[in-house]
Amino acid sequence: MTSTMTSTMTQKNERLSGKVALVTGAGSGMGASHARMLVAEGAKVVLTDVDDRAGTRLAGEIGSERAHFVHLNVTEYQEWENAVREAEEVFGKLDVLVNNAGIFTAGSVEDASLEDWRRTIDIDLNGTFYGMKAALPALKKNDTASIINISSIAGLTGFKNRAAYSAAKWAVQGLTRTSALDLGKYNIRVNSVHPGSVETPLTAGLKRGFGQIPLGRAAQVEEISHLIIYLASDESTFATGGTFVLDGGETAGNNLRADQ
C-alpha cells in the first residue's frame, strides 16, 4: 500500500515537472490555490500581486527553490515586463501564464460610476492583455506554452447589476479566442476558464443563494485549480481557444423553474 501511494504521488508531482508559471493575484483566494497546486505538481511559480505582504508570505511558505514573489500592478505594462524578466532571470524561462487577478464592481449602465467602470476594465481586461503581450516573447521560446485567462460565467451570460464586470469578462473570452488563432503558429495555447460561485475572500461578503446552481453550493478554490493544472500541463497540448466552465451547472439552464 505504501509503495503504491508513493508511486502515485510521484507521478502526480511530475505532471508539471520542469514548467515555470507566472500567476497574477496570487496572494490569496483562487490565485494562491492555483500557485500552491502548480508547485505541488512540480512547477516553479512566480507569484505576483499588489499585496506585497500576502505574496511574500506565500512565497515564504512554499520556499525560494519553488516560488519567487514579484510586486505587480497588472494595469502597469512596465511592471509586467519586469515580472516576466524576473521569471526568466530566477527560473530560466516561462512556460505558463495564469491571468487570475481581477476585481468586480456593482452597478448597471444607469448607476455604475465612471471610476468603477474604468478601474474594472483596466484590471480585468487591460491587465489580461498586458500580461499576454509582455509574456509572449518568453513563451515563444518554448516548444509549447499555455496562457490561461480567468474569466467568469459573467462572461457567458448577462449578470444583473454588473455592467463593468460582465463587459470585461465577455471581452476576456473574445481576447482568448482570437489570440488562440493568432498564437497557434507558435504552439502557444490560449484558453479561458469561467468559474461560477467560488468561496474566496473576494466573495465572502456577498449575499447570495445557491438555488440557481444544480449542485446547490459554491465551489472550493481547489476545484478550480485542478482545471488550471490540466491546462498548464502537456496533457492539454491540443486544447486551445476553449471556454472551460466550472459553475456547478448554473449556466446549463433555469434551475429555479418548478414546473411539474
CA distances from 200 to 40, 121, 165, 249 (A): 20, 21, 17, 19
Known catalytic residue at 130: no
Report whether 67 contacts 44 (CB < 8 A).
Answer: yes
- CA 188, CA 242: separation in Å to the nearest integer? 13
- CA 226, CA 215: separation in Å to the nearest integer? 18
Active-site hit among 130, 165, 186, 230: 165
Element (H, E) at 21: strand 20-23
Cα first-last separation, the chain: 50
So which residues are the catalytic ones? 165
